């Protein structure tokens, strides 16, 4: 069955792979990006494609993009919240505007687009919303406080909104990719904190060397992730979460084990905190 996909950040990275895969599978695609000319050049031409300008940080752009999608194809079946950015650095050295930008792109942006799409899907009583998170969505890491904050928040929002819209036949899925060979770590996509605190100097140097050297060496293949999304969207019911990549599974399993240890370590204290009704009433 041919569906209408709306994909943010479609001109590069995972978004481009998602767009090409959906088109190759016979779906119609609304490919969006801040520079529609760039998106169009990257994707190429297709009768099943419409390219729309969309800066996810601008609610008016989201509303217009959805309007254009409905005018062209009549409906929207699958929304992929993919557009993202990466502000790396130690929290103390990250400027407030960098934290704001991280949250705007990776959290408020998907909210803007989803808010614009939901009226369409509610009317249809059908639709699938996929938000691309990260293994950083369930495991914070050194040098990644801003990024992890945005992804943790994205997941809390998605889990909540998923429960809100399920009665309308709308399904949601969080995708947690591990390290995939995209453009996220390129100079164009990664923004670093300006060094300002000597206490972090030695570790900062090591972190910068790691992140810059890891670009182009990630184990995950975004084209295969795109095919996995096609497989999942063809199911009658989306999984609430898809952990993508063996490395992401490893991080998730370690997180589960750590949480269990933390629960067990203070279980007695934790379970002793209920209100004592008898003591309160003197009985």
Asked if residue 280 is part of any domain, the answer here is: no
**pLDDT for the residue 189:** 63
For 8-38, the pLDDT digits (tens) are 999 988 899 999 999 999 999 999 999 999 9
**Distance from CA of residue 249 to its chain's centroid?**
17
Q: How many independent structural domains does the chain possess?
A: 1
For 154-176, the pLDDT digits (tens) are 999 999 999 999 999 999 999 99
Asked if residue 273 is part of any domain, the answer here is: no
For 134-156, the pLDDT digits (tens) are 999 999 999 999 999 999 999 99
Residue 7 has pLDDT above 70, yes or no: yes
Domain hosting 142: range is 4-258
Q: The domain that contains 120 carries what CATH number?
A: 3.40.50.720
Asked if residue 241 is part of any domain, the answer here is: yes
Cα–Cα distance, 263 to 239 (Å, whole number): 26
For 239-281, the pLDDT digits (tens) are 999 999 999 999 999 999 999 999 999 999 999 999 887 777 7
Token readout for 108 is 């408020």
CB-count burial class (<10 Å; 0-12, 13-18, 19+) for 181: middle
Q: What is the DSSP letter of 186?
A: S
Asked if residue 216 is part of any domain, the answer here is: yes
Task: Please give the positions annotated as active site.
Answer: 133, 147, 151
Q: What is the pTM of this model?
A: 0.93
Asked if residue 250 is part of any domain, the answer here is: yes
Average pLDDT over the chain reads 93
Asked if residue 267 is part of any domain, the answer here is: no
């Amino acid at each position: 069955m041919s569906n209408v996909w709306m994909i943010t950040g479609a001109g590069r990275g995972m978004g481009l792979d998602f767009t090409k895969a959906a088109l190759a599978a016979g779906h119609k695609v609304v490919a969006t990006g801040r520079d529609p000319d760039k998106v169009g050049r990257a994707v190429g031409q297709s009768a099943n494609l419409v390219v729309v300008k969309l800066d996810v940080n601008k609610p008016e752009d989201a509303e217009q993009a959805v309007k254009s999608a409905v005018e062209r194809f009549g409906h929207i079946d699958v929304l992929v919240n993919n557009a993202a950015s990466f502000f790396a650095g130690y929290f103390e050295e990250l400027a407030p505007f960098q934290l704001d930008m991280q949250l705007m792109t990776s959290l408020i942006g998907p909210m803007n687009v989803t808010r614009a799409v939901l009226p369409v899907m509610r009317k249809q009583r059908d639709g699938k919303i996929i938000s691309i998170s990260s293994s950083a969505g369930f495991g914070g890491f050194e040098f990644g406080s801003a990024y992890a904050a945005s992804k943790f928040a994205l997941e809390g929002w998605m889990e909540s909104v998923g429960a809100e819209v399920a009665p309308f036949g709308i399904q949601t899925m969080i995708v947690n990719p591990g390290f995939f060979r995209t453009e996220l770590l390129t100079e164009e996509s990664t923004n670093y904190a300006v060094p300002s605190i000597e206490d972090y100097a030695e570790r900062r140097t090591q972190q910068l060397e790691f992140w810059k050297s890891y670009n182009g060496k990630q184990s995950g293949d975004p084209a295969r992730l795109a095919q996995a999304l096609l497989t999942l969207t063809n199911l009658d019911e989306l999984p609430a979460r898809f952990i993508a990549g063996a490395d992401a599974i490893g991080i998730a399993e370690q997180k589960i084990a750590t949480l269990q240890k933390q629960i067990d370590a203070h279980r007695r204290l934790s379970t002793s905190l209920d209100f004592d009704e008898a003591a309160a009433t003197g009985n």
